[in-house]
Amino acid sequence: MSITVEAVGEWLMAHMDELFEKYPELKKKLYEKLKKELEEKLSTKDDIKAILEEIKQLRKDFNRQQSQIEGLMTEIKQLREDFNNLSRRLDVKITAIGARWGVMSEEAFGDALRYILEKYFKAKVKKWTYFDKSGYVNGEPAEIDMDILITDREHILIEIKASVDRSDILEIKRIGELYQKITGTKPKLIIVSPFIRERAIRLAAKLGIQTLQKIP
């Protein structure tokens, strides 16, 4: 006759009190086992609860960061609009300065200056073109093209630019040195521009280069 698990279970339920009295260690082991399982279940429940809280907090952080990103994108868009407006205003200002100065390009002003000097001051203005194969002026081989005013007393190199900074002053200085080396005549250096930075003016004065922001 085979004994089923159900039958054993029913027998244990019917004789449990008797077994606990006769075998107290059995009661103790059963209690400890049940306690351990209950603690594990409670611990798992707490872990799940903690995980859910972390997910909830992460969702809040994500939403907050999303809001901050949207705000930042709005600020960037506004900055871009402000920059475009400023750029347009600068274009208008530069055009106005050029118009008030009487020129719209370096080439046009150079042509006008040569005409005035030759017609009214009887000065000889010519182009000096030289291929600087050693790269002395610009650091690499390049053609140098300058206006030269020649009088009875001196040669004057004239550079005309829309704007001038320190690098332009140093460039005309090297051109003057190259001109002296090639021709044997030390030229006077003049740079003409409606806009010359203050630091460029100071450097030019130090190097003996004359700067003009208007035609006397």
12/86 same-domain check = yes
pLDDT tens sequence across 154-200: 888 888 887 889 999 999 999 999 999 999 999 999 888 878 899 99
What CATH number corresponds to the domain at position 197? Answer: 3.40.1350.10
15/2 same-domain check = yes
**Contact in structure between 157 and 175 (CB atoms under 8 Å):** yes
90/111 same-domain check = no
> What length is written for the chain?
216
What is the total count of domains within the chain? Answer: 2
52/122 same-domain check = no
89/126 same-domain check = no
pLDDT tens sequence across 35-89: 777 667 666 666 666 776 777 787 787 778 777 888 788 888 887 777 667 656 6
2/91 same-domain check = yes
87/163 same-domain check = no
Q: Provide the β-strand partners of residue 145.
A: 129
52/110 same-domain check = no
Of 206, 203, 208, give the one whose Cα is nearest residue 189: 208
* Structural domain harbouring 185: 106-212
67/122 same-domain check = no
207/111 same-domain check = yes
Of 186, 183, 187, 185, give the one whose Cα is nearest residue 147: 187
Choosing from 42, 66, 101, the residue where a domain stops is 101
56/72 same-domain check = yes
- Residue 1: which residues within 8 A CB-CB, separation 6 or more? none
89/119 same-domain check = no
In this predicted structure, what is the pLDDT of residue 103?
Answer: 47
Tokens of residue 96, six digits: 């106005």
Say how far apart CA 21 and CA 76 lie, in whole Å.
81
